[in-house]
Amino acid sequence: MSDSRPRISKAVIPAAGLGTRFLPATKATPKEMLPVVDKPAIQYVVEEAVTAGLSDVLMVTGRNKRPLEDHFDRNHELEEVLLRKGDGSRLARVQESSDLATIHYVRQGDPRGLGHAVLCAAPHVGDQSFAVLLGDDLIDPRDPLLERMIETRERYGGSVVALLEVDPAQVHLYGCAAVRPTAEDDVVEVSGLVEKPEPAEAPSNYAVIGRYVLDPAVFEVLRRTEPGRGGEIQLTDALQELARNPALGGPVHGVVFQGRRYDTGDRGDYLRAIVRLACEREDLGPDFRDWLRSYVTEEL
């Protein structure tokens, strides 16, 4: 096992997937740029990383990387126009995303799977533990998860996954974990992992969701991980090897998340996320809720 002491500072955000469930919207735009109310999904994720103390962010991008880079860069022309108009609040909103964090980019030539995307981060991450945040999963900022995962890594070493108890009928949509209890209610030890299992093969109804704190030993394992389900190099397969051989990079633990999470990689959940977040917004919520109430009672 590598270091377990230095506090982690790096976040990796894989954003090179093809986003086929959202075609044609994702034909020329990464799905991470799809707006959730008025911010692209990925901005919520970068904000989450920064709130957890991770100010060095590496994005793994693919063929459509331009909109991502532009979003987190300055836009002087737009800023000048807003400044001239005296529109300070919109100017602040435009500057928010470029002031958030130091963002680095690396290109994943071919989208060969999430495990391969994480491996592309190896030269930037080096020999330190690091976090991985998937842009499809929005974790409500009122229900912090990453901080708890970082604490768990500091306590036990090794790697930490985020787990959600799902309906057994939904387990085949996720990576699924075999677990043993620990002395802490919300932390389990992971003894095995299987990617998108058939219901009969699922070891539990604990689904792996898109937050990870990983020991750098994962890179060595990923280098020799063969393509798995869907012909892709699966991060779950590498974590399965780490869980089975703690001598490689420490144990694997899971933090059981009970807060609010929105799966924006799925069209139905994406729509639900927008409605819920819009209802809760102070500026938009009151009018939107009135409209929604009358829409539901009069038109549905």
Q: Which residues would be at the binding site for ligand UTP (CB under 6 A)?
A: 14-22, 31, 60, 108, 111-114, 116-117, 134-136, 265
* Nearer residue to ligand UTP within complex by CB, 17 or 40: 17
We find the least distance from the C-beta atom of residue 103 to ligand UTP, in angstroms, to be 15
Of 149 and 208, CB closest to ligand UTP: 208
- Smallest distance, ligand UTP to C-beta of residue 22, A: 6
Complex with ligand UTP: residue 118 or 221, whichever CB lies closer: 118
Which alpha helices (DSSP H) does the chain contain, by range?
41-51, 66-71, 76-85, 88-99, 114-119, 122-125, 146-156, 217-223, 235-244, 246-249, 267-280, 285-299
* Calpha distance 138→36 (Å, rounded): 10
* Closest CB 233 distance from ligand UTP, rounded Å: 8
Minimum CB–partner distance for residue 230 and ligand UTP (Å):
8
Q: Which is nearer to ligand UTP, 209 or 242 (CB)?
A: 209
Q: What share of the chain is helix, strand, coil (3-state, %, to 5)?
A: 45, 25, 35
Beta carbon of residue 261, minimum distance to ligand UTP (angstroms, whole number): 15
From the number of C-beta atoms within 10 Å of its C-beta (0-12, 13-18, 19+), residue 197 rates as middle
CB 58 within 8 A of CB 70: no
Residue nearer to ligand UTP on the CB measure, 16 or 193? 16
